[in-house]
Structure 1
Amino acid sequence: MSAVTVANVGARTAVGLNARQTGFLLRAGFPAMAEAPLADAAGEAITMAFVPTLDGRLVGAERLAALARAPLEEAVAPIRDVPAEVHVAVDEGCSEGPLAIALLEALVKRVMPAARVTVQARGEAGPGAFLPPAIRALETRRANAVVIGGVHSDYSPHSITALEASGRLFSRDNLDARIPGEAAAFFVLMRTADVARLKLAPLAHVIGVGTGRERARLDNDEPAYEALGLTAAVRQATEPLMADGRTAGWILTDLTGEMRRQCEWQSVFVRAQKVLGRPYLIESPAQRIGYLGAAATPLFVAMTATAWKHGYAPSPIALTMAGNDGGDRVAVVLGKH
């Protein structure tokens, strides 16, 4: 068992105001697709998943900061006074990127004045890349707590225009597309002994992390079925499972409707059969609550931790996968504590 555990989680999505609501409603198969107060080039309302409790006039960097506030506060509530490192990811193509980074850094400082903060535009790859150094910092006692999170929102005219211009905006007539969405999620890593000292219940532990890079991207014609980047990430993350004969019975992906990523996933699914338990459950929550962007991996941690805490998880081991438009891929194996 790892000496580092997930101590707490927080999330806000189109289906839930916190991690528990999100976990329960995703378990129930609740969809969040709705007509949004945003229009395409023809003036037609678009379909997307968005957080209805946020001010509908908020867009861009201000919306990202507003979206992140509640799940950050939820995750760090038990450790607000603990000196911590905080690492937050936003999408690599984030509009108003510098402003978004500044607002998120200011938000973290308000919530946790003593925290050391980094916010990076690394998309889905960011939170996974933060994990290995975070675990090392805790194991070597260079940090007492590490908070990792991600924030994403397609709720802006700029995002919708960009998706439509590239032919990626979901509609009844364009199913091979990205379903717009928004979400924010955070999780707290601490040494197991410190979690016990604070009288918290360990929720999960990280078994393995892997990264890779795909040749197939939006700007070229390389075959998505090659899937060497995601395959490398999954193999690296599942090495501890292979070493002792364990398997993952719960697979979480960030797939929406884009066939390019579906083809990639199909190749990896075939190659990963040895580490998949029987029976296994495959979930792609973005197909119900919209594209997750940089929030994908933190949301998967929140989902699995919540499921293990409340006893409805389909497996004690989960394999999560995510990837950004730039070709970066990350896989994380999580285990019930």
Structure 2
Amino acid sequence: MNEEIDVLALGMATPLGLSSRATLAALRAGFAAHEEIDEVEDLSGESVTACRLEQPDPGSGRIERACFFASHALTELLSWQPWTSPPAVFLATPEPTQAQDFEAATLWTSLCRSFGHTSLASTTTMLPFGRAGLFHALAQARAQLCAGTIDLALVGGADSLVTTEDVQRLARANALLGKTNQDGLIPGEGAAFFLLARRGARAAVAAIEALALDREPEPRNTGAPPRAVGLTRAFAQVRVNQAARPDVVVTALPPQRWWGREFSHAYLRNAALMPEPLVTVAPSVALGDLGAAAGAVALGVGFWQLHPIVPRRGRTGLERALVYGCADEGTIGVCLLRSPRTNSEVS
């Protein structure tokens, strides 16, 4: 099954902006959320870098910070498209090996208290696949929407990797970008959510045209070199179902060599799928590694590639964006996002 589903609304919050428009405006202006974390040193004794918002308090925990960004993202989404009864919820959460101090149920309970159970369903389906979790959430939502089990789905993710404890843990593991690891990552935080419906919704602002899930047999956390077997297959699945080339590729991955080589292999094996010339966007360059929120933020960035933030005469958005994400443990997801056939601007 590869039926289309419609996107009715979205909301996104990051350290660069507490709405999707603010975030995208900052990204397009070339801003980055990098700041030095003086209270943590890497193995060389230097201060480390993270993409962290000073609000909430830097000493707050991972769930509290994730909830802060999720609240802003959901507030924006509700301003686009309120509902009368809560939609079914599908939430991307961290991979089990990266879920220290992250209780997804606690996160959702806190959000329900903030918004009320009339706005948010009290239960949610958790997809513990990190950067690839959003695509699994999309797949489950699509299956239930197309089966008629549900009428609306709320899909997204929220995470924060910048608490003092998390940054210290990454520093001890020499996982951070710095003198002792020039291919390390910069941790980040954020959230994004999407309201989805079956194909044919009048208020659609985009559509998920194709979706593919796969798994890398020898993922990054095994230490094996990137062979891109799973990503090649996932791209090929999308290629079979696509109507036209995408205009841009948006990745949920941090700018590390392993991920870059993996994409290069999969790209060369699926050149007919890719934009010509190749255009890629990596939100993590400015926002850091967003953990379980990475896929959702990448999809949000992909959406705004289709719609000019400031409409100008003679200037239209792109038609399609290919969005993908991979988890350290090997889970992979890819989707093709298409602008609505009316090509109307988002107001």
Q: TM-score, normalised by structure 1?
A: 0.88
Q: What SS class does the counterpart of residue 91 from structure 2 fall into? A: strand
Distance 2:107 2:185 in 1: 27
1:23 positional shift: 1.6
Q: Secondary structure at the match of 2:37?
A: strand
1:125 to partner: Cα distance: 2.0
What secondary structure is seen at the aligned counterpart in 1 of 2:157? strand
Q: CA deviation at 1:111?
A: 2.2
Determine the structure 2 residue equivalent to 1:317: 320
State the partner residue of 1:60.
62
Tell me how far 1:85 sits from its aligned partner.
0.5
Deviation at 1:182, TM superposition (A): 0.9
Query: 1:306 aligns to what?
Result: 304
Provide the C-alpha distance between the structure 1 equivalents of 2:128 and 2:5, rounded to a whole number of angstroms: 26
Displacement of 1:272 after TM fit?
2.0
Given the alignment, which residue of 199, 209, 212 partners 1:210? 212
- Is 1:123 the counterpart of 2:130? The answer is yes
Output the CA distance in 1 between the equivalents of 2:9 and 2:37: 32
Aligned to 1:255: 253
Letter in 1 for 2:264: Q
Q: Is the 8 A contact 1:248 1:280 kept in 2?
A: no
> CA contact under 8 A between 2:63 and 2:159: conserved in structure 1?
no
Q: What is the one-letter code of the residue matched to 1:210?
A: A
Structure 1 counterpart of 2:109, one-letter code = E
**Do structure 1's residue 113 and structure 2's residue 117 form an aligned pair?**
yes
Q: Between Structure 1 and Structure 2, how many residues are aligned?
A: 327
1:326 to 324, 329, 335: 329
Contact 1:215 1:222 in 2 (8 A): no
Counterpart code for 1:238: R
Counterpart of 1:79?
Answer: 82
**Deviates further, 77-86 or 265-274:** 77-86
Q: Secondary structure at the match of 2:333?
A: strand
Write out per-residue CA displacement over residues 19-61 of structure 1, whole angstroms, 9 at most, x where no aligned residue: 1111222222222212235412566432111123322221222
- 1:9-20 aligned within 5 A: 9-20=10-21
Asked if 1:22 is matched to 2:23, the reply is yes
- Aligned position for 1:102: 106
**Which residue is 2:345 aligned to?**
none
Distance 1:210 1:180 in 2: 27
Letter in 2 for 1:65: C
Among all aligned residue pairs of Structure 1 and Structure 2, give the percentage whose two residues are the same amino acid: 25
Could you tell me how far apart the structure 2 residues matched to 1:282 and 1:313 are? 19
Distance in 2 (CA, whole Å) between partners of 1:280 and 1:107 is: 39
Identify the residue that residue 270 of structure 1 maps to in structure 2. 268
Is the aligned partner of 1:143 residue 2:150?
yes
Do structure 1's residue 4 and structure 2's residue 5 form an aligned pair? yes
Structure 2 Cα separation of the partners of residues 80 and 53 of structure 1: 29
User: How big is the shift at 1:314?
Assistant: 6.2
Residue number in structure 2 paired with 1:45: 47
Deviation string, structure 1 residues 207-248 (Cα, Å, up to 9, x no partner): 111112123334434221x1111111211223222xx4x101
Q: Distance in 2 between matches of 1:2 and 1:276?
A: 21
Change (3 A) 1:278 1:103: closer
CA contact (8 A) 2:160 2:188 kept: yes
2:221 touches 2:328 (CA, 8 Å); kept in 1? no
For 2:148 and 2:116, locate their aligned partners in 1 and report how far apart those are by CA, in whole Å. Answer: 19
> Residue 16 of structure 1: SS of its match in structure 2?
coil
| Structure 1 contact 304–313 (Cα < 8 Å) conserved | no
| Higher helix residue share | 1
* 1:63–1:221 Cα change, 3 Å: closer
- Shift of the 181–129 alpha-carbon distance from structure 1 to 2, 3 Å rule, reads same
Provide the rounded CA distance (Å) in 2 between the counterparts of 1:222 and 1:262.
Answer: 14
Closer, same or farther: CA 158–313 of 1 in aligned 2, 3 Å? farther
1:20/1:96 Cα in 2 relative to 1: closer, same or farther (>3 Å)?
same
Answer yes or no: is the 8 Å Cα contact 2:4–2:209 preserved in 1: no
The CA deviation string for residues 158-191 of structure 1, in whole angstroms up to 9 with x for no partner, is 3222322332111255320111111111111023
Alignment match, 2:344: none
